[in-house]
Amino acid sequence: MDLDTLHRRYVLTPWSAQASLNPPVIVRGEGSYLVDREGKRYLDLTSGLVAVNLGHGHPKVVQAIQDQAQTLCYAPPSFFHDKRALLAARLSELSPWPEGARVFFTPSGTEANEDAIKMVRHLTGRFKILAAYRSFHGSTHGSSALTGENRRFSAEPAIPGVVHFFAPYPYRSPFYASDPEEEVVRALDHLERVLLHEDPSRVAAIFLEPVVGSNGVIVYPQGYLEGVRRIADRYGILLVFDEVMTGFGRLGAPFAAQRLGVAPDLITFAKGVTSAYVPLGGVLVREGLAKRFDQEVLWAGHTYAGHPLAVAAGLAAVEAYLEEGLFERAHRLEGLLREGLRALYEKHPFIGDVRGLGAFFALELVKDRATKEPLSPWHAPLSPAVQALLRALLREGVYVVAKHNILLIAPPLTIKEAELEAGFQALGRALRGLEVEVR
């Protein structure tokens, strides 16, 4: 059986109707590129799933995994382990809290959110949780309950106690606001109303992606997160930032919390912590809260919590970010991405909006700039037009992830300027092809 047939016959691919799949067979990764078995190279403009922040095959991380595999591949989470302690200490240093933090390791992002749900309920003795529409927090049932889009529905009724609210989205204001300031005032008013109707004394936490990830790279206008922090404090509610996408330099700082100047109480992370080379996630809990678990039992755990191969990869990845100045580099990339994508906007009417921060941008695609009708509808699978665009990009040798009508442009922080420029050119050609096809 050839490999395509074998894959099709035996593997179930996530979030897909299997018969529609026809992807390349990837055999290698080199820097900003994935390479298929024919040797064709694909420029990775979405860092895998906004995760491979160091690019593919970073030698320092590969070496660390090899070294760890030679010495110890598994240790029970109940034992202490050198790399686990060193990585946790590093993450505490990089956290936004002067008091520092403790780290609860998980195998993935969704499990980090599951455990954060347990923790905020334990820490407050309260039950309800608020989360935003247009959000993604993972695919297990608790994280699905938090999620505010169609990847939640297959898990419903998921877990009880989660209430959704609308957060700012200036391009399609849910509050009929005419400018970002008005959007912030109305969004905060809405959040407080939702809280009051739920009884704030029953609410444990508000979960938010500090910059919305796969649902559109929505950068909240200035003042919103500050306002959410004030509201949370007013009612003794904990604030949790889901930094699974925004952490580890994506926004030009260790965490979005620093770039945006608002500190939550807990941070969930995954993806970039190991540049996605080995599965690892976790919850950072600020010290003032974490010390409660000195005497009270932390009722959560995983066989792979703080897995030696994962924490060794994490430690090496974090060192690489710092040694190579990659958090700063994301600031340089921000200028290049804004300029390059804005130039595409000027030429291509399918682009309704360009937005982002750091090395995290989105192109929001529309049928018509005046009506803003999305090029792929909200609750349906990707439209034929967006699928055609992704196919054209693959033919061009460019890999980009799309969710709804959003193209996620989030290259490795190590991408070279010439590679990025080549990516813009390919995006332009693919968009032009689609315009010609539709007309």
Ligand X SMILES: Cc1ncc(COP(=O)(O)O)c(C=O)c1O
Residues that bind ligand X (CB under 6 A): 49, 108-110, 113, 136-138, 209, 213-214, 242, 244-245, 270, 281
Q: Which residue lies nearest ligand X, judged by its C-beta?
A: 109
CA atoms within 13 A on the CB side of 334: 16
Which residue, 214 or 376, is less far from ligand X as judged by CB?
214
β-pairing, 203-208 vs 128-132, is parallel
Which residue, 188 or 310, is less far from ligand X as judged by CB?
310
Least distance between ligand X and beta carbon 155 (Å): 13
User: How many whole angstroms separate alpha carbon 209 and alpha carbon 216?
Assistant: 11
Which residue, 49 or 85, is less far from ligand X as judged by CB?
49
C-alpha distances out from residue 38 to 42, 44, 205, 393, Å: 12, 17, 50, 17
User: How many whole angstroms separate alpha carbon 242 and alpha carbon 210?
Assistant: 7
Which residue, 116 or 392, is less far from ligand X as judged by CB?
116
User: How many whole angstroms separate alpha carbon 209 and alpha carbon 353?
Assistant: 20
Least distance between ligand X and beta carbon 110 (Å): 3
Least distance between ligand X and beta carbon 113 (Å): 6
Least distance between ligand X and beta carbon 395 (Å): 26
E-strand ranges in 40-111 read 41-44, 101-106
Least distance between ligand X and beta carbon 228 (Å): 16
User: How many whole angstroms separate alpha carbon 198 and alpha carbon 313?
Assistant: 43
Q: Nearest to residue 58, comparing CAs of 381, 290, 222, 277?
A: 277
Which residue, 15 or 74, is less far from ligand X as judged by CB?
15
Least distance between ligand X and beta carbon 185 (Å): 26
β-pairing, 26-30 vs 33-36, is antiparallel
Which residue, 96 or 148, is less far from ligand X as judged by CB?
148
